[in-house]
Amino acid sequence: MNESYEQVKEASTWARIAEDDLRSAEYLLTMGSNGPFNVICFLAQQSAEKYLKSLLIFHGVDFIKTHDLIVLINTVPSSVNFAVKPEELLELNRYSIQPRYSGDWWPYSKADAEEAVAVAKKVRESVRDCLPSGTLQITGR
């Protein structure tokens, strides 16, 4: 594979934004039982989504504009040894929209938020494992 500098830079930018979302979710978890669990779940989903998009961009894979983690993970080339399976993202996938609006899925619990963050961290580590060392450092973080 011959990644261009611009491709690597764009992938790194997406990963930096994904990391910001994940760090924010982790910080909000420190609020304990008073945490905004819906926001934490949303940020965890956003982090996983952006990390997946970073991986796809790095590999030069075009993808549709979507928040659907299952669509994104199924777009990862089979040549990439990605450790996360689509079924592991099912719960996290629903957090792209639901936590931002009222509905019968409320309330979100601390356990929901902790699990969402754990899955997002697994996505992060899996993406990092699929990229050459230092790739995600190009933007300065």
Question: Cα 132–135–140 angle (5° rounding)?
Answer: 155
Find out whether 73 and 94 touch, Cβ atoms under 8 Å.
Answer: no
Mean pLDDT confidence for 23-32: 97
Which residues, at least 6 apart from 111, have a Cβ–Cβ distance to it below 8 Å? none
Note the pTM of the prediction, 2 decimals: 0.90
Mean pLDDT confidence for 34-52: 96
Q: What is the pLDDT of residues 86-130, one digit of tens each?
A: 999 999 999 988 777 777 767 889 999 999 999 999 999 999 999
Which residues, at least 6 apart from 43, have a Cβ–Cβ distance to it below 8 Å? 21, 22, 24, 25, 28
Find out whether 108 and 44 touch, Cβ atoms under 8 Å.
Answer: no
